[in-house]
Amino acid sequence: MHKDPVKAAHEPILEVRDLVKHFPLTQGILFKKQIGAVKAVDGVSFDLFPGETLGIVGESGCGKSTVARLLMNLEVPTAGRILYKGDDITKLSGRALKAVRRNIQMVFQDPY
């Protein structure tokens, strides 16, 4: 079944909803006990439509690179959804993930 091209142009290519990534802080060598968490990303949501470019800007350490790694499925989100063309990419692996990664590009800018 083919999608209507006019309708598809008005649907987001990328939908991010309530994206969260917390990195656990642990204590102990043999028996690691979680004593807290670093909240790298906490509740990010946005839509990206065909023909748009998204720029994420912020201070050092605010979670920009973590969001990029989550979008590329290089990190697993603690919570939230990432839909690429309607498919939840957080559930993909193998060939399906490789195919999606071919269509998503991150450009990191060196401030110097």
**Nearest alpha-carbon partner for 22 in 53, 50, 52, 44:** 44
* CATH number for the domain running over 5-101: 3.40.50.300
Query: What one-character DSSP code corresponds to residue 89?
Result: G
pLDDT at 4 over 70: no
In the chain, the DSSP E strands lie at 14-27, 33-48, 79-84, 87-88
Record the pTM: 0.78
User: In angstroms, what CA-CA distances link 8 with 3, 49, 75?
Assistant: 7, 9, 29
Which of the four pLDDT bands, split at 50, 70 and 90, describes residue 101? Answer: confident
Residue with tokens 């969001």: 67
Query: What pLDDT is recorded for position 17?
Result: 96
pLDDT at 111 over 50: yes
**First-to-last C-alpha distance (Å) of the chain:** 48
